[in-house]
Amino acid sequence: MDTTTDQPHAEDLVKICHLMYQRGFIASSEGNVSLRLGPDRLLVTPRGVHKGFLRADQVVLTDLSGHQLGGELPPSSELQVHLLAYQERPDVAAVIHAHPTMAIACSLAGISLTDGILPEVITGLGAIPTAPYSTPGTKEAAEAIRFFIHRFDAIILARHGSVTVGKDLLEAYSKLEMLEHSAHILSVAHLLGPVSPLPPEEVARLRSAGGHTDVPLIPPPHLTS
């Protein structure tokens, strides 16, 4: 890693990791964060390091094919998820994979965040789909988000966690906060009683206000098997 030019970016990445840990979006060495520096350079968190105590000098530099260019520690085992997001979304410059408690709980309980219930989610994100389960740390785990990453900036990974993307680290982190906050609200609402979605015409109005177009939320059958 070029300590002159990359150090400030590494420090920003570390701040996001510390904030994720403090907010309970990850525990111990869970989760991973990356930041695209240019056409073919990527800062990413290292494997097996407690994110609440991560240091800038532990951050890893790779290219967009996953080859390590700098850093003494190996990159995150979930690097393939980040690489796929960047390859499929040229507009994305930051990717966060976290393990937010309520979002995971919703995926376990079959509570969908795509039903047009919360106005802020519809306006801000369009929807928050849930990708089918795949073994963490595998190529299949990356492929699980391919169908959704073109259309959505926040995705729940069934039984596992979440992926959020943005034009910078703060935007990707803010979408993580929105995802988990929404999951918390819906979890509590389902405990209190039946939850009714907004009328379709209101959902369409909110989606239009947020600049979102109607897109499919259910992947093809071969992706859910």
Q: How confident is the model at residue 5 (pLDDT cuts 50, 70, 90)?
A: low
In this predicted model, what pLDDT tens digit does every residue of 184-224 receive, in sequence order? 999 999 999 899 999 989 988 998 888 886 655 555 444 44
Instruction: Give the closest residue to 97 by CA, choosing from 34, 162, 176, 5.
Output: 162
d(CA 28, CA 7): 23
d(CA 114, CA 117): 8
In this predicted model, what pLDDT tens digit does every residue of 18-31 receive, in sequence order? 999 999 999 999 99
Instruction: Please give the domain boundaries of the chain with CATH numbers for all domains.
Output: 3-223 (3.40.225.10)
**Average pLDDT of the segment spanning 105-113:** 94
Q: Which of 11, 30, 72, 78 is catalytic?
A: 78
Residues of the chain above pLDDT 70, percent: 92
Q: How far is CA 131 from CA 16, 31, 57, 158, 194, in A?
A: 24, 17, 33, 6, 24
- Computed over every residue of the chain, the mean pLDDT equals 91
d(CA 225, CA 222): 6
In this predicted model, what pLDDT tens digit does every residue of 50-94 receive, in sequence order? 999 999 999 999 999 999 999 999 999 999 999 999 999 999 999
DSSP label at 58? G
Q: Is 78 a catalytic residue?
A: yes
The reported pTM is 0.92
